[in-house]
């Protein structure tokens, strides 16, 4: 089925008039007649239709009469045409639709009592609506259930062959994992090639299946739909911040569903530019950590070297007393705090306030320091906007997207679906610059497979190419002639020979992609982990800003430089001031006016400037004895950072280590006091997603055991420290934030920032740009350790949190294997499971290997979610001199067969 013209902004569909049930209706020529009818508010029954993908026309329910046609027509596959006279109601149509329902029911098992879709089944609804009362003659297909998949079961006795599952997978997700296959005399849905299903396991097929033919393995037979309490909330894994429904029965989470469903099938495809309502495998099947048996149920205190259960009062008193004592003896700066960006905005705000006001230190940081802060600081420095510039709609409707250093499908699967939409519906040119054959690279018009770590050099090549090919936007550059001259001068010194040698990309490809980006009317740069978490990340982002500036993409609608975040609330962490350089609202910590404002609002002096510390600086101060107490909220530096950073020594030397967490993490095991916190499913608050939308989370169940929401615990500690915070709920904190940051709570609307590089380009840019381009040209590969060893994320996990979700571990267990390129394995005489010795500057490790088609020759990969074997300890660490971000995701390694 062809593209619906109305959804493509590049296609000028002719406006037409037609008549529906006697009413004149305007529409675009060639769109589905069904869409036109539903746009008038009429709901015609439709079982195989869904607005998110192209019509299929199999169920025979959407029948209408079109003047001039003898028989009813299927309105979903019929195209609207000028002058059409359409009737949607009448006994003849009712009977025809009823016949279609009867036909489906004639081979249906009617095992409603044990079907998960009972009470939530479109076939049931249609039978009822069309008064189908004689069900006695239904035949059985007697097809054995296909339970080979890890998460989905296929009961083809119930299938009505509507094709929705196949179509959503193919059209929307561009995965195409399913097909119809004639088996046993019936058209059955099978995984491609009739193999056990191996796919992204997003579960969107399950969501759109109108009957109970696809079922969720983890919740099958556990509920009847009416027993479930459904709470709409925001996923807490990645920065996409998808909306989802957590469904609970009694005190147990039974399943997670999403706004995408067969029940929600009427809409305009162009609306999917903002999101199609689906969720990914982590959101749908990664919920079991919420009520995991491994959750902390009680506070723990260290006694005789052991962590033992203790009452809340005693644990909090102990924390407070020891903090008071340390502060009295050594001053406020003997205390520091780290918080996870999976906390809510309200908790992040409260944490920095607790550290700055109740304790009096600016040694406070969050997990945004692992990379996102690079983007925030670079974007704030260059264009005055400390966040991503584009929302999902911009991305979907872009004509060119430059994806640099991002395995988007693995890290932010739903943002990746937007790029897929841009490719399929809007025919965008997508340039993927990466050192792995990512899923998006396979779909992109211009996959640029660069040598590991050379993404930044490729960007320099683009900047140079734009200038040399005279593709610059003169309106943008003529405003800042000095800055442009400095940039020109800087890139002139780079040679294309060294760029092509360092990246492995030909000059022709560099010129071609530079032209595509520069000439596109709407072009977006999307950079992620391969930039923000790798050496020189801050400066590389500034080079991307250069590219956007000289091509006129800063400030123009639908253009910009954006990023994605791996943890849900990394943007919120920075916005709320959980970083030593920022007060809430990203006001500089040393800005006198801002300090005054917050000091007044909080009724307290702020800590002195110049004494704050970032994550790595805090750990260093722990090691050298300056910091004696560390409050770690949801963070796990010991489990995350390489051994060479001396985290263990830093923590072991503390007089007081307080860990507030869901689980007994590596860091918590060293703590003096462990405080059990709640998951996002047990508390209220908001997250700020990568589009800048502030999204609500709502409690779906009571806290597990004696665990408490983080805000509640912090309020108690602050009170104990003599800082009376009268918060009775997160709403009280929200009200305070609203007063201080008017407009921050934007009710789920993406923010539209206005990037402006004028200040940056006229102040010190010329000197800065000179050093930036010089430093990058010097990168050379390591001769003795020729492999690029990368740590990174896989689709089925998010940080270490998801490893507590059995569903996700079933799909993606820790194999402990190093992923390698097939040719490299052949060259070294290795087969899957063979043992190798991996040697880096930090040490060596014996482990087994597995072939991975995404790996380019010379690179290998290990999922960062697992520490067994401890590959992280092999990684070199470098600290960004501008932002304090610790880079440890890419290292050179030697690999030998053992
Ligand atoms: S789970 Fe997702 S990827 Fe897998 S078949 Fe279903 S729709 Fe396709
Ligand atoms: S499995 Fe469900 S969605 Fe797929 S064709 Fe059958 S009834 Fe339709
Ligand atoms: S992990 Fe990210 S993409 Fe997946 S459901 Fe959650 S927020 Fe959405
Ligand atoms: S909705 Fe048109 S044939 Fe199924």
Ligand nearest to the CA of 408: 3
168 lines ligand 1 (CB under 6 A): yes
Instruction: State the Cα–Cα distance between residues 109 and 116, nearest whole angstrom.
Output: 13
Vertex 44: Cα angle to 39 and 45 (nearest 5): 135
Mutate to test the pocket of ligand 3, among 274, 283, 407 (most ligand atoms within 8 A of CB): 283
Ligand nearest to the CA of 209: 2
Cβ contact 245:276 at 8 Å: no
Ligand nearest to the CA of 198: 1
User: What pLDDT score does 7 carry?
Assistant: 47
Residue in this structure with the two tokens 């599952």, named with its chain if needed: 165
242 lines ligand 3 (CB under 6 A): yes
Over the chain (898 residues), what is each successive 10-residue block's mean pLDDT? 45 86 94 93 94 93 96 96 96 96 93 92 96 84 94 96 97 97 92 96 98 95 91 98 96 94 89 95 96 96 97 98 98 98 98 98 98 98 96 96 97 98 94 96 97 95 98 97 97 94 96 98 97 96 98 96 97 98 98 98 96 98 98 98 98 98 98 98 97 96 96 97 92 97 87 91 93 62 88 96 96 97 97 98 98 95 97 98 97 96
DSSP 8-state code for residue 555: S
16: Cβ–Cβ under 8 A, 6 or more apart, which residues? 26, 27, 28, 29, 80, 81, 82, 83
Alpha helices in 670-729 (DSSP H): 710-720
Mutate to test the pocket of ligand 1, among 173, 189, 215, 283 (most ligand atoms within 8 A of CB): 173
User: What pLDDT score does 13 carry?
Assistant: 75
Instruction: State the Cα–Cα distance between residues 759 and 377, nearest whole angstrom.
Output: 15
Cβ contact 296:663 at 8 Å: yes
Cβ contact 631:335 at 8 Å: yes
User: What pLDDT score does 270 carry?
Assistant: 83
Which residue has the CA at smallest separation from atom 3 of ligand 4? 57
> What's the gap in Å between 57 CA and the centre of ligand 3?
31
Instruction: State the Cα–Cα distance between residues 176 and 162, nearest whole angstrom.
Output: 16
Which numbered atom of ligand 4 lies nearest the CA of 75? 2
Instruction: State the Cα–Cα distance between residues 360 and 355, nearest whole angstrom.
Output: 6
E strand intervals along 155-292: 178-183, 186-191, 214-216, 229-234, 243-249, 252-257
Ligand nearest to the CA of 169: 1
> What's the gap in Å between 152 CA and the centre of ligand 1?
9
Total Cβ atoms within 10 A of residue 111:
13
Instruction: State the Cα–Cα distance between residues 546 and 149, nearest whole angstrom.
Output: 47
- Pairing of β 560-563 and β 252-257: unpaired
Q: How far apart are the two ends of the chain, measured CA to CA in Å?
A: 54
DSSP β-bridge partners for residue 23: 20
- Pairing of β 787-792 and β 859-863: parallel
* pTM score of the predicted model: 0.96
Ligand nearest to the CA of 59: 4
- From the list 659, 635, 524, the residue with the least C-alpha distance to 569 is 635
The helix/strand count (H/E) of the chain reads as 31, 36
Residues with CB under 6 A from ligand 2: 159-165, 189, 208-209, 211, 213-214
Helix (H) / strand (E) element for 897: namely strand 890-897
Which numbered atom of ligand 3 lies nearest the CA of 279? 5
Give the C-alpha distances (Å, rounded to integers) separating 728 from 351, 414, 744.
16, 35, 21
> What's the gap in Å between 205 CA and the centre of ligand 1?
5
Cβ contact 860:790 at 8 Å: yes
User: What pLDDT score does 6 carry?
Assistant: 42
User: What pLDDT score does 781 carry?
Assistant: 60
Residue in this structure with the two tokens 């909306």, named with its chain if needed: 243
Mutate to test the pocket of ligand 1, among 203, 208, 213, 811 (most ligand atoms within 8 A of CB): 203
Instruction: State the Cα–Cα distance between residues 346 and 361, nearest whole angstrom.
Output: 19
Which residue has the CA at smallest separation from atom 6 of ligand 1? 205
The gap from C-alpha 393 to its chain's centroid, in whole angstroms, comes to 16
Which residue has the CA at smallest separation from atom 2 of ligand 2? 209
Total Cβ atoms within 10 A of residue 732:
14
Give the C-alpha distances (Å, rounded to integers) separating 425 from 3, 48, 377.
7, 21, 34
Instruction: State the Cα–Cα distance between residues 612 and 365, nearest whole angstrom.
Output: 9
Cβ contact 658:668 at 8 Å: no
Q: Per this entry, what is the length of the chain?
A: 898
Q: Is 37 exposed, middle or buried (0-12, 13-18, 19+ CB in 10 A)?
A: buried
Alpha helices in 445-506 (DSSP H): 455-468, 474-478, 481-492, 496-503
Mutate to test the pocket of ligand 4, among 36, 43, 56, 64 (most ligand atoms within 8 A of CB): 56
């Amino acid at each position: 089925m062809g593209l619906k013209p109305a959804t493509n902004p590049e296609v000028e569909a002719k406006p037409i008039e037609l008549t529906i049930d006697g009413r004149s209706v305007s529409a675009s020529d060639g769109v589905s007649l069904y869409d036109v009818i539903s746009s008038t508010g009429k709901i015609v029954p439709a079982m195989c239709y869904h607005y998110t993908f192209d019509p299929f026309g199999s169920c025979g329910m959407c029948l209408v009469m079109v003047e001039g046609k003898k028989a009813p027509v299927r309105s979903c596959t019929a195209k609207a045409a000028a002058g059409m006279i359409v009737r949607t109601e009448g006994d003849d149509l009712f009977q025809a639709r009823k016949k279609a329902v009867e036909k489906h029911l004639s081979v249906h098992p009617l095992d409603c009592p044990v079907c998960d879709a009972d009470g939530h089944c479109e076939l049931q609804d249609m039978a009822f609506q069309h008064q189908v009362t004689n069900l006695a003659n239904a035949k059985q297909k007697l097809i054995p259930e296909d339970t080979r998949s890890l998460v989905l079961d296929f009961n083809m006795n119930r299938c009505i062959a509507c094709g929705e599952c196949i179509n959503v997978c193919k059209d929307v997700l561009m995965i195409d994992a399913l097909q119809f296959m004639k088996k046993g005399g019936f058209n059955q849905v099978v995984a491609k090639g009739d193999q056990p299903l191996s796919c992204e396991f997003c579960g969107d097929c399950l969501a759109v299946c109108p009957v109970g033919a696809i079922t969720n393995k983890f919740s099958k037979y556990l509920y009847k739909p009416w027993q479930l309490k459904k709470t709409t909330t925001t996923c807490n894994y990645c920065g996409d911040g998808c909306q989802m429904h957590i469904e609970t029965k009694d005190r147990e989470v039974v399943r997670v569903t999403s706004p995408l469903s067969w029940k929600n099938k009427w809409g305009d495809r162009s609306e999917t530019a903002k999101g199609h309502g689906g969720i990914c495998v982590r959101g749908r099947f990664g919920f079991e950590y919420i009520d995991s048996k491994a959750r902390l149920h009680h506070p723990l205190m260290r006694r005789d070297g052991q962590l033992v259960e203790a009452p809340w009062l005693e644990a909090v008193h102990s924390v407070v007393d020891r903090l008071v004592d340390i502060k009295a003896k050594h001053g406020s700066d003997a205390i520091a705090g780290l918080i996870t960006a999976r906390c809510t905005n309200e908790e992040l705000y409260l944490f920095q306030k607790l550290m700055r006001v109740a304790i009096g230190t600016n040694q406070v940081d969050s997990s945004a320091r692992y990379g996102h802060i690079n983007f925030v600081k670079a974007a704030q420095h260059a264009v005055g906007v400390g966040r991503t510039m584009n929302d999902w709609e911009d991305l979907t409707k872009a004509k060119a997207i430059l994806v640099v250093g991002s395995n988007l499908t693995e890290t932010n699967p739903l943002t990746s679906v937007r790029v897929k939409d841009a490719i399929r519906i809007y025919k965008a040119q997508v340039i993927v610059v990466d050192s792995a054959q990512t899923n998006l690279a396979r779909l992109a018009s211009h996959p640029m497979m660069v040598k590991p770590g050379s993404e930044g050099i490729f960007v320099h090549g683009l900047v140079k190419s734009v200038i040399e090919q005279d593709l610059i936007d003169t309106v943008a550059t003529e405003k800042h002639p000095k800055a442009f001259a400095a940039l020109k001068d800087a890139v002139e010194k780079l040679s294309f020979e060294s760029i092509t040698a360092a990246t492995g990309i030909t000059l022709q490809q560099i010129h071609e992609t530079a032209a595509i980006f520069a000439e596109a009317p709407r072009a977006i740069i999307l950079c992620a982990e391969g930039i923000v978490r790798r050496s020189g990340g801050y400066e590389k982002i500034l080079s991307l800003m250069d590219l956007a500036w000289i091509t006129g993409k800063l400030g123009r609608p639908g253009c910009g430089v954006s990023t994605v975040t791996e943890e849900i609330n990394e943007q919120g962490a920075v916005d709320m001031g959980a970083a030593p350089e920022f007060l809430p609202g990203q006001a500089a910590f040393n800005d006198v006016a801002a300090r005054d404002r917050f000091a007044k609002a909080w009724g307290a002096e702020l800590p002195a400037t110049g004494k704050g510390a970032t994550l790595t600086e805090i750990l260093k101060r722990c090691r050298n004895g300056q910091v004696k107490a560390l409050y770690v909220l949801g963070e796990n530096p010991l489990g995350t950072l390489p051994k060479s950073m001396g985290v263990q020594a830093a923590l072991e030397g503390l007089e007081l280590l307080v860990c507030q967490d869901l689980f007994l993490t590596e860091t918590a095991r060293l703590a003096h006091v462990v405080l059990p916190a709640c998951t996002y499913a047990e508390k209220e608050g908001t997250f700020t997603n990568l589009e800048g939308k502030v999204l609500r989370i709502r409690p779906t169940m009571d806290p597990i055991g004696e665990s408490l929401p983080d805000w509640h615990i912090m309020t108690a500690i602050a009170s104990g420290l003599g800082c009376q915070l009268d918060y009775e709920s997160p709403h009280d904190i929200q009200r305070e934030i609203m007063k201080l940051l008017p407009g921050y709570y934007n009710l789920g609307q993406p923010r539209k920032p206005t990037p402006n590089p004028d200040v940056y380009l006229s102040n010190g840019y010329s000197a800065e740009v000179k050093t930036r381009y010089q430093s990058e040209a010097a990168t050379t590969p390591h001769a003795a350790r020729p492999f690029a060893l990368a740590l990174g994320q896989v689709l089925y996990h998010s940080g270490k949190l998801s490893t507590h979700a059995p569903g996700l571990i079933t799909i993606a267990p820790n194999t402990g294997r190093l992923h390698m390129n097939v040719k490299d394995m052949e060259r070294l005489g290795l087969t899957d499971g063979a043992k190798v010795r991996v040697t880096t500057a930090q040490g060596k490790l014996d482990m087994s290997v597995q072939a991975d088609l995404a790996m380019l020759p010379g690179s290998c990969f290990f999922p960062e979610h697992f520490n067994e074997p401890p590959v992280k300890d092999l990684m070199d660490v470098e600290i960004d001199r501008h932002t304090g971000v610790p880079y440890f995701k890419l290292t050179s390694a030697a690999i030998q067969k053992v």
